[in-house]
Amino acid sequence: MGIFDFLSGEFIDVIHWVDDSRDTLVWRFEREGHEIKYGAKLTVREGQAAVFVHEGQLADVFTPGLYMLETNNMPVLTTLQHWDHGFRSPFKSEIYFINTTRFANLKWGTKNPIMLRDPEFGPTRIRAYGTYAVRVVDPARFLVEIVGTDGEFTMDEISFQIRNIIVQEFSRAVARSGIPVLDMAANTADLGRVIAEEIAPTLKEYGLAIPELYIENISLPPAVEKALDKRTSMGLVGDLDRFTQYSTAEAMTSAAENPSGGGGMGAGLGAGLGMAMAGQMAARQGPWGATPPPPPPPVEHVWHIAENGATHGPYSKAALGRMAVEGKLGRDSLVWTPGQDGWQRAEDVAELAQLFTVMPPPPPPPAA
């Protein structure tokens, strides 16, 4: 080093940081003995903040710009240091550069299933995962609460804690929402906003904020998914007999196309399945191929009658017909049968209204 290089180094000090790691949150400016000269130039680029720590105490925070480290723009540090205005009296401080850009596409997910009570399936478990973005909004608080004296603090050192906070609030939000599991996919955007709002106060204490949080997928345990798929398949099948025939025919086709393995085992299996299907069809058609018998007749209702605060019955429909003919049952009589919603007028019940339509009309008045 020449004498001019040495003198220029004594008269000027340039402090800056260019990050090419893409995952560094905090970087400490290294200078032997931490000696910073009075009048040094500090360059803080966009997406950065510079924090001065003097003798273990936070002194100043600088936003993007070019600064000369002098008394007029460092009042706090000047009060702490009481330095002379000359390069022969450097002050010993630590300068931390804070990356305030947005760290995006960070992953989060539930390590263990979350228990909840679903209105349709009852107690069940779900898993979820997604992405989020985080950025430093209060460099001083972040340095004090999280970084401490770490000279190079990366995103990996805080992401685990943030993931735990997200999962905890996700569990609470899902449990309180009451949204059925089958409808959660349509509400992931709203759930993401709710979770981001819930964790904002906690992250604010760290000097952080989450501008984005996305839920990419919510899934059920494999056993529940299997049962749900089977239930969906049953709904699509419709006619179970036709589905059984189709499945048997497919099995026969597969066995016939793969006769290897056992010298004719496939052919025997196909024949056996064919006989089984033929037996099923014969059982449904009867011994002579007749049509199945008709279903049993419907169960006849029995009726009760309310009259003068008392109830009578039960009566069959035939008995009510005789009572209608005898005048003991009128259109305004109150009747009830099991399964009916309360007492109703006899003519308002479709099954009994016909009793009054078959009766002859009242006789005409006598001729004058």
Please report, for residues 71, 92, 245, the alpha-carbon distance to residue 9 in angstroms, rounded to integers and kept in the order given. 21, 17, 92
Report the 10 Å Cβ neighbour count for 202.
Answer: 14
Shared-domain flag, residues 121 and 176: yes
**pLDDT of the residue at 291:** 64
Span 191-230, pLDDT tens digits: 888 889 889 999 999 999 999 999 998 888 787 777 777 7
pLDDT of 297 above 80: no
d(CA 127, CA 359): 68
The answer to whether residue 292 is domain-embedded is no
Co-location of 64 and 150 in the same domain: no
In angstroms, the CA 135 to CA 209 distance is 6
Answer yes or no: do 110 and 209 share one domain.
yes
**Per-residue pLDDT at 98 exceeds 80:** yes
> Which tens digits make up the pLDDT trace of 169-178?
888 888 888 7
Span 18-57, pLDDT tens digits: 888 888 889 988 766 556 776 778 889 999 999 888 777 8
Closest CA to 92 of 182, 13, 175: 13
Q: What's the domain range around 174?
A: 103-222
Reported confidence tier of residue 84, pLDDT bands at 50, 70, 90: very low
325 vs 244, more confident? 325
**Which of 50, 84, 99 lies at the terminal end of a domain, its last residue?**
99
pLDDT for residue 118? 81
Please report the pLDDT score of residue 262 as a whole number: 47
In a shared domain, residues 12 and 66: yes
Domains identified in the chain, total number: 4
**pLDDT attached to residue 172:** 87
Q: Are residues 312 and 279 in the same domain?
A: no
Do residues 66 and 122 share a domain? no
Exposed (0-12), middle (13-18) or buried (19+): which is 44, by Cβ within 10 Å?
buried
Beta pairing partners, 42? 15, 67
Of residues 290 and 160, which shows the higher confidence score?
160
Confidence of residue 147 (pLDDT cuts 50, 70, 90): confident
Is 296 domain-assigned? no
Instruction: Please indicate, yes or no, if residue 204 is contained in any of the structural domains.
Output: yes
pLDDT of residue 86: 43
- Residue 159 in any domain: the answer is yes
**Do residue 200 and residue 243 come from a single domain?**
no
Q: What is the pLDDT of residue 270?
A: 52
d(CA 95, CA 97) in angstroms, rounded, equals: 7
In the DSSP assignment, the letter for residue 367 is: P
Structural contact between residues 64 and 44, judged by C-beta atoms closer than 8 angstroms: yes
Q: What is the DSSP letter of 290?
A: P
* Average pLDDT of span 182-196: 86
Outline where the chain has alpha helix (H). Answer: 3-11, 75-81, 139-142, 156-177, 188-204, 222-237, 240-257, 265-285, 317-326, 350-357
Alpha-carbon torsion angle 355, 360, 361, 363, nearest 10: -140
pLDDT band at residue 133, thresholds of 50, 70 and 90? very high
Q: Quick check: 162 pLDDT over 70?
A: yes
Element (H, E) at 337: none
Average pLDDT, the chain: 76
Q: Is 66 exposed, middle or buried (0-12, 13-18, 19+ CB in 10 A)?
A: exposed
Residue 301: what pLDDT? Answer: 77
Instruction: Please give the single-letter amino acid code of residue 214.
Output: Y
**Which stretch of 133-137, 245-249, 345-349 has the lowest confidence by average pLDDT?**
245-249
Domain CATH for 133: 3.30.479.30
pLDDT of 88 reads: 44
Task: Determine, yes or no, domain membership for 368.
Answer: no
Q: Is the pLDDT of residue 5 over 50?
A: no
Task: Name the one residue in this structure whose structure tokens are 């069959």.
Answer: 316
Residue 343 has pLDDT above 90, yes or no: no
Which amino acid appears at position 186 of this protein?
A
The answer to the question of residue 250 being in a domain is yes
Residue 123 has pLDDT above 80, yes or no: yes
Q: What is the pLDDT of residue 239?
A: 57
Residue 4 has pLDDT above 60, yes or no: no
